[in-house]
């Protein structure tokens, strides 16, 4: 059996000679027999992780590798024993539709210490594992890269202590890493979408669509708090797709007089005949001084100034739950398969990579380069360089934000203008109020 694949690498071109310029691979069944691969999930769970785990296992088995689950993330790697088990084809049957991660995820303080990483290295050597697929956020991926960098010295320590043999030290002297980003926040730079983001948006939109019905009946204002401690992607896309009246996100804080602008916007909406208002607040929303803007604070502003019947709904971990969307299932499958191929093609000089989504292509990017770009966003926000923070998030984030701003410009009723068409209120003289 021969599998023919075409994939896009960073910097590949398109055009008449596309077939000649793109890399082509013939993948023969059993072509990498004897290699050991392990897959684990770490950090917060997200829908679509199981699809990625399934793809890693089946792609690895197809290529002749011995594939292992590492249960409970880094903690399972450190503890070893029954936490590291060999997977077979049927091990991943009937999991693609399940949310979360069937192999578990856990925070691990032990792995932060060298002694813990040394235990993990011993457990991997005993199983013959020299290839790791890490599914998690930037913290999990950074830990994996450190593990890879320390691998030779960890083996030397194990050899010196008599915990492994010279033959094992030589046979397993290289460790290769491939990362997949599983995060509902879409907070990792270098990929258009992270595994789980699309499903989380589905959960949020379903909830808002349900709330709109009761809000309309009672002419209420609802404030919806969505996840996004350090990234406002969920809040912005939710606002765009639910026709929200105002949105608060950490990368693009509102102006200092946001309470006035918010109330003015809501008043305009009601004056235009709207019976309800929806406000989206990211859990990490802040003002331009870095002070948190909470759902409670927003409610206080609305109630004190407009006397509107206002309610707060915090969706919380509902956003993480439920079955993954079709998009996340496909994304997990494609990224998982590409991660295995990246490991099989790795050489001793190959740096750790992360499999990302660029347009509709799965591409490999240097892992730490993407991690540093992600950290640069946090630094820009800490330095209050808001435009730079939005720019660093990437084109998709910036375009969604600009699209929301454009589509929520609202014309006030005719009563707000004089006979010449000039606005009677200084706040509405331009004919619209931005909702961000």
Mean pLDDT of 25-36: 80
The rounded percent of the chain whose pLDDT value lies above 70 is: 88
Nearest CA-CA partner of 315 in 373, 234, 392 = 234
Domains of the chain (ranges; CATH) run: 36-194+324-378 (3.40.50.450), 198-321 (3.40.50.460)
Active site residues: 185
pLDDT-derived band at 408 (thresholds 50, 70, 90) equals confident
The confidence score (pLDDT) of residue 432 equals: 54
Instruction: Using the predicted structure, report yes or no on whether residue 333 has a pLDDT greater than 50.
Output: yes
Whether residue 388 has pLDDT greater than 80: yes
Mean pLDDT of all residues belonging to the chain: 90
> Does residue 7 carry a pLDDT above 70?
no
SS3 string, the chain, reads CEEEEEECCCCCCCCCCHHHHCEEEEEECCCCCCCEEEEEECCCCCCCHHHHHHHHHHHHHHCCCEEEEECCHHHHHHHCHHHEEECCHHHHCCCCCCCCCCCCCCCCCHHHCHHHHHHHHHHHHHHCCCEEEEEECHHHHHHHHHHHHHHHHHHHHHHHCCCCCHHHHHHCCCCEEEEEEECCCCCCCCCCCCECHHHHHHHHHHHHHHHHHHHHHHCCEEEEEECCCCCCHHHHHHHHHHCCCEEECCCCCCCCCHHHHHHHHHHHHHHCCCCCEEEEEECCCECCCCCECCHHHHHHHHHHHHCCCEEEEECHHHHCCCCCCHHHHHHHHHHHHHHHHHHHCCCCCCCCEEEEEECCEEEEEEHHHHHHHHHHHHHHHHCCCHHHHHHHHCHHHHHHHHHHHHHCCCCCCHHHECCCCCECCHHHCCCCCCCC
At residue 132, φ and ψ (nearest 5 deg) are: -125, 135
Least confident of 250-254, 381-385, 422-426: 422-426
- Give the residue, 352 or 28, on which the prediction is more confident: 352
Question: At residue 10, does pLDDT exceed 60?
Answer: no
Residue 241 pLDDT > 70, yes or no?
A: yes
How many C-beta atoms lie closer than 10 Å to residue 353's C-beta? Answer: 24
pLDDT band per the 50, 70, 90 thresholds, residue 425:
low
pLDDT tens across 251-279, in order? 999 999 999 999 999 998 898 889 999 99
Residue 29: band (very low, low, confident or very high) from pLDDT cuts 50, 70, 90? confident
Statement: residue 86 has pLDDT above 90? yes
């Amino acid at each position: 059996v021969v599998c023919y694949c075409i994939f896009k690498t960073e910097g590949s071109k398109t055009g008449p000679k596309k077939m000649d310029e793109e890399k082509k691979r013939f993948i023969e069944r059993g072509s990498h027999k004897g290699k050991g691969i392990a897959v684990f999930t770490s950090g917060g769970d997200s829908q679509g992780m199981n699809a990625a785990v399934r793809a890693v296992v089946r792609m690895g088995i197809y290529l002749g590798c011995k594939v292992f689950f590492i249960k409970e993330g880094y903690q399972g790697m450190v503890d070893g024993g029954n936490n590291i088990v060999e997977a077979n084809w049927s091990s991943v049957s009937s999991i693609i539709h399940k949310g979360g991660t069937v192999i578990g995820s856990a925070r691990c303080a032990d792995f932060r210490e060298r002694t813990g990483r040394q235990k993990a290295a011993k457990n991997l050597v005993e199983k013959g594992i020299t290839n790791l697929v890490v599914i998690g956020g930037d913290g999990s991926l950074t830990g994996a890269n450190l593990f890879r960098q320390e691998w030779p010295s960890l083996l030397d320590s194990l050899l010196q202590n008599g915990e492994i043999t010279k033959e094992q030290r030589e046979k397993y002297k290289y460790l290769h890493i491939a990362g997949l980003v599983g995060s509902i926040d879409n907070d990792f730079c270098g990929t258009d979408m992270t595994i789980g983001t699309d499903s989380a948006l589905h959960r949020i939109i379903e909830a808002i669509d349900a709330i709109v019905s009761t809000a309309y009946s009672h002419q209420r204002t609802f404030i919806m708090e969505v996840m996004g401690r350090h990234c406002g992607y969920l809040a912005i896309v939710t606002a765009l797709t639910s026709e929200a009246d105002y949105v608060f996100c950490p990368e693009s804080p509102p102006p200092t007089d946001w309470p006035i602008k918010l109330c003015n916007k809501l008043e305009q909406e009601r004056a235009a005949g709207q019976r309800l208002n929806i406000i989206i607040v990211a859990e990490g929303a802040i003002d331009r001084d870095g002070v948190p803007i909470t759902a409670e604070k927003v409610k206080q502003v609305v109630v004190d100034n407009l006397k509107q019947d206002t309610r707060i709904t915090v969706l919380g971990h509902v956003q993480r739950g439920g079955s993954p969307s079709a998009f996340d299932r496909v994304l997990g499958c494609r990224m998982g398969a590409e991660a295995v191929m990246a490991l099989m093609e790795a050489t001793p000089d190959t740096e750790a990579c992360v499999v990302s989504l660029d347009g509709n292509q799965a591409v490999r990017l240097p892992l730490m380069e993407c991690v540093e770009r992600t950290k640069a966003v946090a630094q820009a926000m800490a330095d209050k360089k808001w435009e730079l923070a939005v720019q660093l998030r990437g084109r998709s984030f910036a375009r969604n934000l600009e699209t929301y701003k454009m589509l929520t410009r609202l014309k006030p009723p005719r009563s707000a203008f004089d006979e010449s068409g000039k606005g009677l209120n200084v706040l509405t003289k331009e004919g619209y109020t931005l909702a961000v």
